[in-house]
Chain A
């Protein structure tokens, strides 16, 4: 994320579209373990997360790593933290309600840490880069064999030195986001929206179609570091072929579960 001369010259224009805090990104050079915001589901689903051991991947050798998953409720409250130590390049972590303190659906972030002697030994690497966790979540219906995977979407969340949840994400002005997909008949959609910022986030869902003018469908409010899910049945959306949403996040993506007759698909918009 370099501040190029073009960006400096057009600073205001870029700032208004920049998804992160300009100050924190360019001037407050803290080294952080930054994470996307991920969704877990234990409501008729099983969820696994594939956590990466970034230093091991950088060095091409196995090094002991402490993975911590921090779980949050729909309202953005911390519900539990679960840690595991491994030296594998990737570690598959299967979620349970014990880990999520009984919550069936919620958010989580991934953080990693290394022993002090490892940090000291590879000080030059820790000094020159910050790690970004964009791991892979797998979902399957109870009783099924294999998982449907989706990679990390957007977040820029981290835990600060005082153990507090912090973020690089910022709300700006209104953005209209349209996923490149068509609404399919006989299909149910679950649209999970997350709020990676410290302020309440409003999202307005819009529908459009060939013979349908763009029309407002629903508005939701999401608490800081929380999430909301909108359910839609395509057969109830007469004439609608596309959805869009308006939010103050410059990158306002959603995690979408698409349920068809025999199964489901999961992808980020």
Chain B
């Protein structure tokens, strides 16, 4: 499964970095093998429906890195990194985001991924992640919970990243909600558009049992916990399908149906 990578300006002085290697992430054999590709960086302004190419990078060693500092991103704006063939002559502008090439070299199971790092002051935290290409082709719905919320221990952010690679005619307002799962009550609402990130700060929200949902967009939820000059921690929650060993999609549809019917 090929994938997109992304950089985001999440505010609060937090920077976002991506690093990836030219080694195939997983393959059969005893010697790591390289895969030849380059990475292009695209940006779609909040109001625009066009993807503009803003950078292209080649490997000069085994590693390639990107930072949100390199591109002028407003808060919530994304720079999408697309691994493409070295021979691709890319245009300056696209209606549809180019298809990322697969970095697999055989049938070995792996999500291709990159190191997605967020840093503040002298502290950083990362996870190996991506935005899967098939997920960028559908609209879908979103539901997640709060196992990564550390009430009162530190500052918290939820960064909800949406990438829709198909052509978009209009940028409609999408909504994501923070709700109390217990009280069945919306606590906060964020409006955002396709190909951007909705960012929640949890100041003033002390409720337990939070859930996060959107009826008109899917995306990757990244939870950032941080205290200036002390620490930062970053992790994403699993999609509901990962709660099931088999019949994952059936299980996911059951959870989404029960919660989205119940929530306001």
Contact = CB atoms under 8 A, between A and B. Distances in A.
Contacts of B29: 174-176
Nearest to B261: A60
A134 B242 contact: yes
A133 to B, nearest CB: 8
A267 B25 contact: no
Interface string B18-51: 0111011111111111000000000000000000
B58 interface: no
Interface stretch (A72-80, A207-215, A226-234): A207-215
A58 B258 contact: yes
A52 interface: yes
A251 B251 contact: no
A180 B115 contact: yes
Contact of B258 (A13, A34, A60, A242): A60
B31 A242 contact: no
A90 interface: yes
Central interface residue in B26, B230, B242, B262, by most chain A CB within 10 Å = B26
Nearest to B211: A89
Interface in A190-229: 204, 206, 208-210, 214
B126 to A, nearest CB: 5
Chain B contact surface mostly: mixed
A13 B108 contact: no
Contacts of A135: 147
Interface in B237-264: 237-238, 240, 242-248, 250-251, 254-255, 258-259, 262
B124 interface: yes
B110 interface: yes
Contacts of B233: 146-149
Given A177-B25, A177-B26, A178-B24, A145 B227 contact: yes
Contacts of B209: 88-89
Contacts of A13: 107
B167 to A, nearest CB: 30
Contact of A241 (B63, B146, B251): B63
B122 A147 contact: no
Nearest to B19: A182
Interface string A159-178: 00000000000000111111
Contacts of A132: 242-245
Contact of B244 (A131, A152, A242, A261): A131
B251 A180 contact: no
Contacts of A244: 23, 32
B30 A17 contact: no
A181 B62 contact: no
B15 interface: no
Contacts of A25: 246
Contacts of A206: 31-32
Nearest to A62: B182
Contacts of B245: 32, 34, 129-132, 156
Interface stretch (B70-78, B85-93, B148-156): B148-156
A151 interface: yes
B62 A90 contact: no
A14 to B, nearest CB: 7
Contacts of B126: 181, 265, 267
Given A136-B235, A269-B128, A180 B244 contact: no
A149 B247 CA distance: 27
Interface string B113-154: 111000000111111100000000000000001111010011
A69 B250 CA distance: 27
A13 to B, nearest CB: 6
B106 interface: yes
B61 interface: yes
A152 B237 CA distance: 10
25 contacts: A17-B28, A57-B145, A129-B244, A130-B247, A132-B245, A136-B147, A136-B148, A147-B153, A149-B233, A149-B235, A151-B237, A175-B29, A176-B30, A176-B31, A178-B24, A179-B115, A180-B21, A181-B19, A206-B31, A209-B61, A210-B61, A251-B26, A262-B122, A262-B123, A267-B126
Ranked nearest first, the 3 interchain pairs of A and B with the lowest CB-CB distance are: A178-B23, A130-B245, A210-B61
Interface of A: 1, 13-14, 16-19, 25, 32, 34, 50, 52, 54, 57-60, 88-90, 125, 128-132, 134-136, 138, 144-152, 156, 173-182, 204, 206, 208-210, 214, 241-242, 244, 246, 250-252, 260-263, 265, 267-269
Given A131-B245, A252-B26, 20 more contacts: A13-B107, A17-B106, A34-B245, A89-B181, A129-B246, A129-B250, A132-B245, A151-B235, A151-B237, A178-B21, A178-B24, A180-B21, A181-B21, A204-B30, A208-B32, A242-B62, A250-B26, A251-B26, A267-B125, A267-B128
